[in-house]
Structure 1
């Protein structure tokens, strides 16, 4: 979207909130952005053995630290995340809103290190992670926090004699995603879950032996107007905005998170931030 169209969309959103009254504006800025929800989903597959029944994967995304989202809020989020006792945790991009302006420090590393996941913590790049010269500093922070980067690579998660596979791609907008490289040595017999920041990339992913795609990026639109829906979503989150979709003939199951933080405008309206807990079952 060009700058003029983007500004028109943003102005329309702001006018809509202001026109709804001061109480609505206050709610959208000060209250709803803090109303974290726990969204539950099931991933069902005949590829799963009994070993993976009730196995859980927690996804959080788009914290955008530094833009009206603080380390104290992240600390509270991690406590809620740990209370769900997930087996695996995945972060699907956009840790910091503007890496070249953020006050990087060890407190962030300590907070992220406190995440408990016995079968591993994994992450992928989002467009804001590469933007603002953030590529290296974000990776260093996540490395020191115990996260494994999946950048056109995959990881096998084993439980007893069975396994599932996580595949992660580089960011589509500012990186160099390579799904063929990421899928190397992945057996179609295993449940394969792909992490990619931008959800609309699913239209390409559906052509590969991928069962599930987890994405963020859209923020669910941040602002949703009754009877109209979301006003604006970024490029590559215009088709698949939030929730789950079945794509293609196989089909590919796509889940799009509304994310945690905000960007561009510090509002959420009818679009609460969320953590998603996926429970596997055969």
Structure 2
């Protein structure tokens, strides 16, 4: 860590401590984590066939259910997502915070099942899904909830015999991601969207025939301060923290979702929970 980064983090942490000791503490713990931004993005590409005009994809990520994010909150989220009338739903990892201690029950499966999308529901592993011996448990839950796992593989989404590629890699931190294997036999001339939990993987993705990468993991930093920005992000979310990024002269576009729950600390400040609604345009 260089001197500038050290000072930034030290001053930021001090200001956070002072700020959160007053009324801001209540806001950051009780209010902002319950708010929700629905971020609308248009994805236009000459590689998209006309059949996909106005095709809608909703992404949600990092619910971390069990750590200050309840099933009641998730049930409200399900209603909100369905109101977007998505054609496709994608979940980019970290379903519960600690799989080994979470009280697994059918209620979560039932809520996940209520999510409706004509062209399917897909998900990828996050680090918390693999952690805490959760790999098989989470897969079993998502299978029962009618979500399709993308783990170093891809699927073809079709409308009127026209297509695009939806791909997903295993988690970067605790899995074994293999993008070359993921795209084996995929047509590089088709519009290709990659689900990758960790956003910094984009520096690898840019060397492959992928148009869009969508990620989570960062939580947007959870706590952001004016003039300073985020105070901390986890490994592999240090370079790309939130929002839209373009790499190598628009060769790849990355979108980083701020997620829904919290982890480590139950606070959000100037960093509201978020879902993405992507509308495709030919």
TM-score, normalising length from structure 2? 0.95
Checking the alignment, whether the CA contact within 8 Å between 2:12 and 2:225 is kept in structure 1 is no
Alignment-derived partner of residue 135 in structure 1: 135
- What is the Cα deviation at residue 13 of structure 1? 4.0
Using the alignment, how far apart are the partners of 2:25 and 2:235 within structure 1? 26
Using the alignment, how far apart are the partners of 2:204 and 2:148 within structure 1? 25
Using the alignment, how far apart are the partners of 2:65 and 2:11 within structure 1? 24
Using the alignment, how far apart are the partners of 2:171 and 2:229 within structure 1? 27
SS at 1:89's partner residue? strand
How many residue pairs get matched? Answer: 278
- What is the Cα deviation at residue 37 of structure 1? 1.2
Using the alignment, how far apart are the partners of 2:13 and 2:57 within structure 1? 34
4+ aligned runs moved over 6 Å, structure 1: none
Assess, with a 3 A threshold, how the Cα gap between structure 1 residues 102 and 11 changes in structure 2: closer, same or farther.
Answer: farther
> Is structure 2 residue 180 aligned with structure 1 residue 151?
no
Alignment-derived partner of residue 216 in structure 1: 216
Q: Which deviates more from structure 2 when the two are superposed, residues 245-254 or residues 30-39?
A: 245-254
Alignment-derived partner of residue 26 in structure 2: 26
Using the alignment, how far apart are the partners of 2:255 and 2:10 within structure 1? 26
Checking the alignment, whether the CA contact within 8 Å between 1:110 and 1:145 is kept in structure 2 is yes
Checking the alignment, whether the CA contact within 8 Å between 1:17 and 1:25 is kept in structure 2 is no
Assess, with a 3 A threshold, how the Cα gap between structure 1 residues 13 and 95 changes in structure 2: closer, same or farther.
Answer: farther
Gaps of 5+ in 2: none
Using the alignment, how far apart are the partners of 1:281 and 1:264 within structure 2? 39
Using the alignment, how far apart are the partners of 2:220 and 2:39 within structure 1? 13
Using the alignment, how far apart are the partners of 1:198 and 1:250 within structure 2? 20
Checking the alignment, whether the CA contact within 8 Å between 1:154 and 1:168 is kept in structure 2 is yes
Residues 104-129 of structure 1, C-alpha deviation per residue, up to 9 Å, x if partnerless? 00000000000010100000000000
User: Where do 1:115-130 residues align within 5 Å?
Assistant: 115-130=115-130
User: Where do 1:159-198 residues align within 5 Å?
Assistant: 159-198=159-198
SS at 2:131's partner residue? helix
- What is the Cα deviation at residue 22 of structure 1? 2.2
Residues 201-221 of structure 1, C-alpha deviation per residue, up to 9 Å, x if partnerless? 000000000000000000000
Assess, with a 3 A threshold, how the Cα gap between structure 1 residues 31 and 14 changes in structure 2: closer, same or farther.
Answer: farther
Alignment-derived partner of residue 252 in structure 1: 252
Gaps of 5+ in 1: none
Alignment-derived partner of residue 63 in structure 1: 63
- What is the Cα deviation at residue 34 of structure 1? 0.5
Using the alignment, how far apart are the partners of 1:119 and 1:64 within structure 2? 26
Alignment-derived partner of residue 107 in structure 2: 107
